[in-house]
């Protein structure tokens, strides 16, 4: 068996104790094992605690990526139904959603200003593939992006109503 040391969400897990479970027919076999820190990473001064912090950060950022992708889907769906929405929600709804889209999406021109979705996916790519100590700048940037995303979610919820099946615990 080969494991890429990633959890179900695709995030690299930190060093620690894990279990492999294999089911064959009605039999289930479980074997414990330990993932150790890469000695080359430890040599660079990165600790297991640093990797645990990186993992927790990456899980939070993954949730942020999922949240922005859900919002993108809602806004695009609204844009596809603009005529119907304009008739029911009026031009104010269209204008408010266009303002959200302008903040959310990257401008569709060469070298256009990146939108919130691009900023969030860039933050996710910064820390996802290298064992490292998370910089304070990445943690602070997460907080800023989360506030911006929460604000856009709230505006979309005010215009369209809460998303069906999505808890409003942002």
Domain assignment present for residue 20? The answer is no
Residue 74 inside a domain? The answer is yes
User: Model's pTM, two decimal places?
Assistant: 0.83
Residue 35, domain member (yes or no): no
Q: Is 120 exposed, middle or buried (0-12, 13-18, 19+ CB in 10 A)?
A: buried
Q: Is residue 73 part of a domain?
A: yes
Q: How many domains does the chain have?
A: 1
pLDDT in tens, 24-73: 999 999 999 999 999 999 999 999 999 999 999 999 999 999 999 999 99
Tell me, yes or no, whether 57 lies in a domain.
yes
In a domain, 114, yes or no: yes
Confidence of residue 166 (pLDDT cuts 50, 70, 90): low
Note the pLDDT tens digit of each residue in 77-107. Answer: 998 887 554 555 567 888 899 999 999 999 8
Neighbour-count burial of 159, counting CB atoms closer than 10 A to its CB (0-12 exposed, 13-18 middle, 19+ buried): buried
Residue range(s) defining the domain that contains residue 141: 44-160
Instruction: Look at residue 55 and tell me if it is in a domain.
Output: yes
Residue 101 lies in a domain: yes
């Amino acid at each position: 068996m080969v494991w890429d040391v990633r959890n179900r969400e695709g995030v690299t897990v930190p060093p620690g104790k894990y279990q492999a479970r294999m089911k064959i027919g009605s039999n289930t076999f479980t074997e414990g094992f330990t993932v150790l820190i890469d000695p080359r990473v430890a040599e660079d001064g990165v600790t297991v605690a640093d990797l645990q912090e990186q993992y927790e950060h990456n899980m939070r950022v993954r949730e942020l990526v999922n949240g922005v992708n859900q919002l993108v889907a809602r806004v695009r769906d609204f844009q596809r139904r603009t005529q119907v929405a304009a008739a029911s929600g009026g031009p104010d709804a269209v204008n408010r959603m266009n303002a959200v889209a302008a903040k959310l999406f990257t401008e569709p021109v060469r070298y256009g200003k990146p939108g919130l979705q691009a900023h969030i996916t860039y933050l996710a790519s910064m820390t996802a593939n290298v064992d490292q100590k998370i910089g304070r700048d990445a943690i602070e940037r997460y907080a800023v992006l989360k506030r911006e995303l929460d604000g856009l979610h709230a505006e979309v919820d005010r215009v369209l109503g809460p998303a069906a099946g999505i808890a409003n615990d942002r």
